[in-house]
């Protein structure tokens, strides 16, 4: 959904989006139920040598948020597919272990690792300093950029004003760096009313609401946006030059596991 940012160019482009169809009388749909409940527990999993346990069990469990094609999503047979899925399977083969996938809401991935419900998390996760305080990361495996996705009927105004942005309904996936950026660079700067930021647990639902005219733009990474454009009804309205660096998230202190993944 997919993801970091201090991208002023995107803010400027967003400020120029014309308000189209905002007075439909309809309200955005409620945030959909996550594929798996976000893990909740008072007691985190006890520290252990995760790599030794994985080797002994012969299985590595990877947490994903499967609503972000082409990185991870379900195909027509309801089987997980995508770049991250293929990469994790290839890593498992090199490590000599089977890879199992557990599907969570994106904002539940780190909690799943803390509770022992996933050994690692891979889901187009942007490596950021803030996230490094919670987890460790593998080497970067993919570089992307952030964009604004909107209706293919919307146009960009060549003379942007703050008033245009004030009327926009901006959607983000919960737990992503785009949610953080929307708060720091839009809401905190007085450019967007907090009520106009809509947080979804499923970015696919946000895109559907764009097509229905209930949301004006969705902030996400370039490759998923391109995949949604191919499905029709939406277009990339603004691109950002800030680089997003994706890496596999690993529980803090599991250096042997991190080294094994990097070597694979």
- Neighbouring-strand partners of residue 2: none
User: What confidence score (pLDDT) does residue 184 get?
Assistant: 87
pTM of the model: 0.76
- C-beta of residue 151 within 8 angstroms of C-beta of residue 234: yes
Is 90 exceeded by the pLDDT of residue 87?
A: yes
Domain borders along the chain are 8-34+144-244, 50-142+246-263
Q: Is 211 helix (H, G, I), strand (E, B) or coil?
A: helix
Distance of CA 103 to CAs 6, 54, 145, 170, 220, Å?
29, 19, 24, 25, 19
- C-beta of residue 164 within 8 angstroms of C-beta of residue 17: yes
User: What confidence score (pLDDT) does residue 108 get?
Assistant: 96
- C-beta of residue 184 within 8 angstroms of C-beta of residue 14: no
The rounded distance, in Å, linking the Cα atoms of 237 and 244 is 18
* Fold exhibited by the domain 50-142+246-263: D-Maltodextrin-Binding Protein; domain 2 (3.40.190)
User: What confidence score (pLDDT) does residue 186 get?
Assistant: 84
Q: Note the pLDDT tens digit of each residue in 99-126.
A: 999 999 999 999 999 999 999 999 999 9
Closest CA to 135 of 113, 108, 102: 113
Q: Note the pLDDT tens digit of each residue in 5-30.
A: 444 555 555 555 544 444 444 555 54
The reply to whether 50-142+246-263 shares the fold of 8-34+144-244 is yes
Q: Calculate the dihedral angle through the C-alpha atoms of 185, 190, 191, 197, rounding to the nearest 10 degrees.
A: 80
The rounded distance, in Å, linking the Cα atoms of 242 and 229 is 21
Min mean pLDDT across 61-65, 90-94, 213-217 is at 213-217
The domain 8-34+144-244: what is its CATH number?
3.40.190.10
The rounded distance, in Å, linking the Cα atoms of 186 and 163 is 13
């Amino acid at each position: 959904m997919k993801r970091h940012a201090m991208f002023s160019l995107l803010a400027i482009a967003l400020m120029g989006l014309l308000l189209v169809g905002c007075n439909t009388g309809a309200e955005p749909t409620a945030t959909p139920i996550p594929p798996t409940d976000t893990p909740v527990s008072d007691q985190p999993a006890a520290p252990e040598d995760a790599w030794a346990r994985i080797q002994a069990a012969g299985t590595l469990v990877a947490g994903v948020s499967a609503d972000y094609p082409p990185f991870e999503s379900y195909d027509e047979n309801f089987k997980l597919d995508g770049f991250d899925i293929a990469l994790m399977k290839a890593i498992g083969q090199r490590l000599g272990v089977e890879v199992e996938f557990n599907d969570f809401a994106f904002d539940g991935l780190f909690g799943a690792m803390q509770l022992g419900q996933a050994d690692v998390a891979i889901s187009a996760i942007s490596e950021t300093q803030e996230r490094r305080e919670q987890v460790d990361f593998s080497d970067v495996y993919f570089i992307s950029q952030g964009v604004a996705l909107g209706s293919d009927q919307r146009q960009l105004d060549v003379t942007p004003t703050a008033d245009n942005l004030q009327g926009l309904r901006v959607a983000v996936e919960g737990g992503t760096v785009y949610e953080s950026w929307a708060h720091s660079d839009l809401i905190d700067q007085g450019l967007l009313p907090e009520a106009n930021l809509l947080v979804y647990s499923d970015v696919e639902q946000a895109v559907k609401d764009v097509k229905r005219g209930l949301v004006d733009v969705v902030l996400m990474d370039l490759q998923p946006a391109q995949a949604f454009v191919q499905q029709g009804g939406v277009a990339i309205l603004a691109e950002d030059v800030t680089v997003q660096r994706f890496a596999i998230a690993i529980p803090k202190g599991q250096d042997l596991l991190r080294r094994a993944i990097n070597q694979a």
